[in-house]
Structures are given as C-alpha cells and as structure tokens.
Amino acid sequence: MNAQIRKIYIVVFLMVLSLAMAATYIQVLAAPTLNADERNSRTILHAAERDRGPIIVAGTAIAQSSTIPDSRRYQRSYPGKDTYAAITGWFSASLRSSTGLESAAENILEGDAPSLWAQRIQNLLTGLERQGGGVELTVNPNVQQAAASAIGGRKGAAVALNPSTGEILALYSSPSYDPNVLSQMNSTDALEAYKALNDDPNQPLKNRAIAGDRYHPGSVFKIITAAAMLESGKYSPDTEVSGPAAITLPGTETSLPNITGLPCGSGTPTLTEAFARSCNTSFALGAIDVGADALRDMTDKFGFGKPLDIPLPVTESVFPESVNESQVGLVAIGQGDVAVTPLEMAMIGASVANGGVLMKPYLVASVVNADLETQATTTPTQLGQPITETTASQLRDMMVDVVAQPYGTGRSVAMGTPIAAKTGTAETGTDGRTIAWIVAFPATENPNIVVAVAIEGDEMNPYVGGGADAGPVARAMLEAVINGE
C-alpha cells in the first residue's frame, strides 16, 4: 500500500469512527437528557402516533385517545372536560406540550413504565404498535362533581383526602377550563385557545389546589397553633386563656383585634371556646407564650417547606424562617408571611382525623395495561406523625365545638352526622378582599373523608367568610360521601 492510499485509508477510518462515536453518544449516552429537554418536540410528536393510555375515574375514562381517520395519529380527548382539568392537565401534539397527569404520568400513558414490560414484550412478539398504559385514580367522582358545582366558577380550590390512606378523593381548581380546546389537532386553533386561557385575568390554567401563588390560611392555621400549645404541656382544652377585645403586638403600636371587635366570650374563655369562636387575641397570646420555634417545629412536622409530588408537583407551603415576637401573633392566626396550599390544609386536617398520623397524598391508585388489567398498585405511605394521638383527639373535640356550639363559626356544615371543622378568613391586603377557608371531616370513628376549601373574594364580593362561603362547599363534598350521593 503506497503512502497516499494509506493516508486516505486513515482519514476515512477516522471519519467512520467519529460518525460511529457521535451516533453512539447521541443515541445512547445523551438520549435520556435529550428526551427530557423541554425544547425537544420529538417526544410529543412521536407520542401523537402512539395509542396513549386512558386516565380513569371509577371505571370511566376522563382522558382517552382515539384514532384519526386515514391517519396514523391519535386524537386526545377529555370527556371529563373542566371538572377534571386540574388533575388531567392536557396533552397537545399541536402545541408540543403536556401538563398535569398527562405530563407527570407520561411514562405510563405512553407504555414506557417498568410495570408495563410484559405488554411491551407482547407487542414486540405480535408485531403490534406500542400501546400506552392507563392510570386508575383515587378520585371519587361524586365528591369531585360536588366541589365543582358548589364553587360555581368562583376563584378558589377544594381538596378531599381519605385520612387513613392518603387517597385524593377530589382535587378541583376554579375557574377551570376545557382541555379539549388545547388538545385539538388544528395548531392555529389550539394556539389561539391557549393564548386566550393564558391571558385570562382569572387565570384558569393556574392550579390553585396545589400550586398557584398559595394563600394566607387565616384562622384555619389555628389548628397548628392549638397543636403547638397543647403539645407544649402548658395548655389543655379546658385551660382558661386570655381573650381581650384587642392586644398590642409586642414592640409595636399595632393593634390586633378579634374579628368581632369584642372580648372572646367572657374575656377568659377555655381554649376550646376560644377555638370555636376563633378568637385572634387568645391564639396570638398563646403563640407568643410557646414561641415561634414551637410553631415552626409544628409546621415542619406537617411538611411545610418540603417537596411533595402526588405525582403532580406540589408547591411547598411556607412558614417564615425568622419571626420576631411581634410577628408571632400574626403568623399564629395565619397572617404575616405564612402561606399554604389547600392540599396542605387538607393534610393537616387528615392528620387530626387519623389519630395524629400523616399519610402521603396520592392520585394514582393503580397502573393498568392496554387490556385494563392491573399491573401495579399504590401502597399507602406514612409521612410521619406530627402530633400525638392524644393531641389529635383533643383537637378533634375542639373542632366539633366549632360546628356544634351556637357560637361556633362552622355552623354552616352542621348535619345529621357530627362534623369537626375549623373556619378561617384571611386578609389579602388587596382592596379589602379576603380568602374564605374551611377544613372539615366527619367526627366519627375512622372518618373516610377530610375536605379543605379556599374561596377568594372578588370584585363582586370582596369580603368572603369561612362559614358563609367555604362552608357550603365543604358540606356538599362531605354529603357526597356521607349520603352516598
């Protein structure tokens, strides 16, 4: 071989080697990163040619795919429409995007999950196109529909949990939207629909139940304050506490009044009565007594500041890192720099209902294959025990008085079954608007539902209250289970 041929041979060999190495790097080493890159539309476009699996509630698909005539592609549709949008999100090949469970459970819906290996092998051996798996949800359709109907388009959110398992029975954000307008194959129409929803000042694409901007919890935070007071050993439900009409926050000239402007009961109510009346001064003074660290420790045990997925990613609830003595009184009544999601408040209520044990919330009950045969099920997981069983029992009894006593703030959820509840009205600092809250559950042995509801004040009705506005929503959701509707 002469020198020139040898040189050409070496150059060609190096070129082939470099091409082989580049192909190996892209297809093997870099493939996971490239597939996960949000700028890569290939995954979404390829998924449009796959029989994407259904999202199922009580045996009925709330998201499903069907073949487009004379095409290899599939159309995604949402029979559940706006009722389930906060859960399903949307999948759109034309917009090259997906949200909600369509994104969080994508490996299952596209058939790539480890639990679907048998289906993939079967498809390979039979020559069938790859099929997606499905997810069966924990959602109770009656509770979900009750939440949607009772909120009635107002801004807000509602969550329901099974306290003993963590199953999410309802998760609704309002105002909602119809995912079908985003999943349509006409890219121009889909893009116009997305722009309209994205530019809507009511922000229907925001999931207020688990994300969004979070909310000041107002007086529902007194569940945590009361828990910290009880677990300090300084207080019991029968302890008489101070309840003046107003107090001056330490080191300031700021006055903190009761919402009525009057003393709490006789002025020295028991802790239980102060809780039922939702007296700001009693709980501000109690929090100052036990200290900010006790409140922070309690919020930490309930999961504030910790990541959570259900498998939808949940925005972390926050308690301020630094709280001086004057600020303790504000955060104790759910104002100041404390902010929560409705899911977090449902988790707090669920721990009280479950004897102090906090279970991890989850949406996916099981994974099924293309033949709807169960391939994997979710096992309930304990996140911790924020409070003792004794404290949980005491809090439950205190919450019962919120509904049962004539001076209780939660009378709107009273029904034939004893109900435990805590209401709240949080100030937003915007045009006198408030946020109405309630956390409630049946005060029975082993209750199977806990609900948390938040309703935002708006231009038409800026001042909303926990009992008057959030209470009826909670009642409708509880009745959907209690009455078996």
State how far the Cα of 71 lies from the Cα of 435, in Å rounded to an integer: 49
Q: Is the bond into 311 cis (omega within 30 degrees of 0)?
A: yes
Q: Which two tokens stand for residue 217?
A: 């919890």
Contact 318, 287 (CB under 8 A): no
Q: What is the largest CA-CA distance in the chain?
A: 110
* Alpha-carbon gap, residue 437 to 352, rounded angstroms: 17
Please give the Cα distance from 61 to 68 (Å, whole number).
Answer: 18
3-state percent helix, strand, coil for the chain, nearest multiple of 5: 40, 20, 40
* Residue 175 preceded by cis peptide, ω within 30: yes
Where is 125: in which H helix or E strand? helix 117-126
Amino acid at position 131, single letter: Q
Are 477 and 147 in contact by the 8 Å Cβ rule? The answer is yes
Rounded Cα–Cα distance for residues 166 and 387 (Å): 17
Catalytic residue, candidates 65, 174, 219, 317: 219
- The SS3 assignment for 33 reads helix
Pairing outcome for strands 55-57 and 134-137: parallel
Exposed/middle/buried for 237, CB within 10 Å: 0-12, 13-18, 19+? middle
Q: Is 219 assigned a catalytic role?
A: yes
The rounded Cα 416 to chain-centroid distance in angstroms is 29
DSSP string for 210-273: TSTT-B--GGGGHHHHHHHHHHTTS--TT-B----SEEEPTTS--EEE-TTSS-STTSS-BHHH
Beta strand segments in 58-143, E: 60-67, 74-77, 91-92, 97-98, 134-137
Q: Are 439 and 348 in contact (CB under 8 A)?
A: yes
C-alpha distances out from residue 331 to 75, 254, 458, 484, Å: 49, 14, 24, 38
User: Amino acid letter at 51?
Assistant: D
| Gyration radius of the chain over CA positions | 27
Q: Which residues are catalytic?
A: 219
